[in-house]
Structure 1
């Protein structure tokens, strides 16, 4: 089996790569430290030279950074149009004529929260989409997209599963690419040999997980935080569940979860409204016909706990979590801004300043809310020296408690607002970015004006607004904690230094 075949599915490739790094939560969860819910972008090919030339003709070159002064970057104005197909799919469309291309993304309520008693079923179904259709095997499908200059992408997460297409918009390329895409997503054949190969890849990944204390801690954290809730089990399934999944299970899941009434269709690019309507109807009609699946129930609150995984290494992984909010919650803007100050904004945050810069205890410490269909997690994660793990954990909890007690300073709040306003244009900088935003808006049933609404809400927030929102949803003593590392004698933490401590040049091995 070639390397290309083994890693052809971005879904499986990401899972295997994820076993070597801390993957405390799915990239789906709209999850995250972006201004807007992460858009689950799949890799896209570089635009053709012709397309880039067309864009250059429209954009004046920037000759001096002085011209920027203190002015914010210009925002891309989006005219979002929305309608519903005959099959019940919700469509969101933005016309963008700058490049002779279009991006199409289908977002299904078909993530692992719909697995039921068979963890991994949603991921396997999504991974099998482009493994075969009538008359074409996996290689012929890949060559079909490649010969048309098109790209297919897919992925499966806790809430959602996606399938995407990027293609040239000229009819002679667009129409055959859409026909192939509609067959792949709507009528996959789920060949037995491909199913067994992907199951073997997942089982291999589970073996790699045993060598990654960060991944082991992440799995245990979701188990402790969500207990019997569907979010508790990993999206990729388990070593016990994967072997028993057969083609009949996958076909049944596809028929239910990939139905036209269970999808949001996002379209951006060089298309008219009438062309977008024809594309949406074509794709919707190719899918199984059915209604939307219900979202998962609200999870129960979990008492504070601390679980430790004994693992031989020089470092200890520290993961702390509490239940956060569902997507669309009215406190989202305040929580986003508060978290940017606490630990989500990289260097300059409270956690990074106190834990890394003043004490040199870690290479990085990060926090984030991951809103989903129901209450996603608020998480803090870091690695530190094993012999200072207990003191570092106490310090992190102390810093959270101080932040909840007093809130941010006016200076921190204004800086976070400026950073948010400055980064906001990047959320719609490309068609791929926009199609991801449309998918999230449609999937989480947000208003079409959501992007502008969010920025207005952020800029109107006060210190007390942020402090009150953080206290409504977080408790300094309410964390579910999982640590992974060796059992060693603990040392006291070094005192904080006014000078930023110099960090080692490389990350230590476990």
Structure 2
């Protein structure tokens, strides 16, 4: 019953408009910084912790070690094996999740106020004394090998993997954070311990907390939970050189439908023109059936069920990306139409109606993101990692509204590069062959 109550609170609590979120900046006695949104009306707290660096810190020849290490954090700690740890967590009605990304490791925790101390103690045990015992390593390794093997048969995964390798070469962005069959099979317990020391350190922590906890309580919690981690981790990765030029790369695969991943270099999140680029992309390919690409590729020509584009500002590279799928005999035409729309928007920008509709959607949808403690805690961490001020939630929609047609036309000419657009096509496309 307690577990059910926690799940219900997580799902429905704090359906709050964006402008009502009051963020407090907290520094623990030990110097750990966090952002806090207090909401004491329900006895529940969500905690989000991110460590900058992520899977990009994998050591040479050890691809997949950080991902495997992160997956093992809840597979036993202290004197508890995986089963005992799971039972202790269940008894407390606490929830923990551990996730690896290219640029960060994320830890999410939710707990009731009455169990806060014990829930934090258990999470601290996972972070400070992970077992990394061989039985757990082999069990999780087997799961990851299964995922890697499945991805090798998935056209979408093959397309992404190929694009990344062509775009970034030997940089960590050029390979999947899961690793390969060979690299994961070769990982030892020592490799996993090294991955732990490289990544979970106090010099790269970002924290968001939302719920029934005040500033003093959060400060004490942070020092207890994180204060004994190593002061410094491994040096953060270098910038990634982008290696691709325009053209097509075809990966033969026996399937009646081809999948294409496409893109080129993009724009940093802190670029003064980022909001104009964001609104531009909403019109181009992010807004579902109302986007230019959906209108031209699907609605007018029936070449696909779906096509979309998105901005991808990573820590060490920036991309404008997209994806489309079409039958083998029509994918070449779909690519031709996408290139044409890319070029048209680069030279003409957007119409007044398109701009108005994009702004209406983007400003209306933003408050809906703040739909629960855990979600808001994640937003707080994301804002910190993007170096945004606490006032961003209040000013974000105004920045969207301030974008003009002239802004978009200027930024489109700078951002969209139809000649540099590269398509990786997986399938048996008719009329296409590798052109670079």
Is residue 179 of structure 1 aligned with residue 121 of structure 2? yes
Aligned partner (choices 306, 318, 343) of residue 401 of structure 1 = 343
Secondary structure of 2:301's counterpart equals: coil
What residue number does 1:191 align with?
Answer: 133
Q: How does 1:38-57 map to 2 (within 5 A)?
A: 47-48=5-6
Change (3 A) 1:92 1:74: closer
Tell me which of 56, 64, 69 is aligned to 1:120: 64
User: What secondary structure is seen at the aligned counterpart in 2 of 1:483?
Assistant: strand
Gapped runs of 5+ residues in structure 1? 1-44, 60-72, 491-510
Q: Which of 187, 208, 216 does residue 150 from structure 2 map onto?
A: 208
> Does the CA contact (< 8 Å) of 2:101 and 2:177 recur in 1?
yes
Q: Cα RMSD (Å) of the superposition?
A: 2.3
What is the distance in 2 between the residues matched to 1:196 and 1:152? 22
- Match 2:74 to one of 106, 125, 130: 130
Residues of 2 paired with 1:46 and 1:225: CA distance? 46
C-alpha separation in 1, matches of 2:177 and 2:409:
34
Distance in structure 2 (CA, Å) of the matches to 1:122 and 1:479: 32
**1:110–1:258 Cα contact (<8 Å) kept:** no
Quick check: which one's helix share is greater? 2
1:98 counterpart = 2:53:
no
Q: Which one is further off, 436-445 or 410-419?
A: 436-445
- Once the two structures are overlaid, the 10-residue window that deviates more, 112-121 or 217-226, is 112-121
Shift >3 Å, 4+ stretches = 45-52, 73-76, 83-89, 487-490
The Cα shift of 1:475 comes to 0.3
Asked if 1 retains the 8 angstrom alpha-carbon contact of 2:94 and 2:111, the reply is yes
Distance apart, 1:459 and its partner CA: 0.6
CA deviation after TM superposition for structure 1 residue 50, in Å: 9.1
1:223: which partner in 2? 165
SS at match of 2:288: coil
Measure, in 1, the Cα distance between the counterparts of 2:28 and 2:277. Answer: 35
1:82 to 25, 47, 55: 25
Structure 2 alignment gaps of length 5 or more: none
**Structure 1 residues 207, 300: CA separation in 2 closer, same or farther (over 3 Å shift)?**
closer
Q: Deviations over 1:130-187 (max 9, x none)?
A: 11112101111111111111101111010011111100012xx111000000111222
Determine which of 323, 328, 351 is the counterpart of 1:381.
Answer: 323
TM-score (norm 1): 0.79
Report how many aligned residue pairs link the two structures. Answer: 428
Residue aligned with 1:391, SS: helix
Q: Is this contact kept in 2: 1:344–1:368, CA < 8 A?
A: yes
TM-score normalized with structure 2 length = 0.92
1:25-424 alignment, distance < 5 Å = 47-48=5-6, 74-85=17-28, 89-117=32-60, 118-170=62-114, 173-290=115-232, 293-300=235-242, 302-424=244-366
Cα gap change, 1:224/1:489 in structure 2, threshold over 3 Å: closer, same or farther?
closer
Distance in 1 (alpha carbons) for counterparts of 2:411 and 2:21: 30
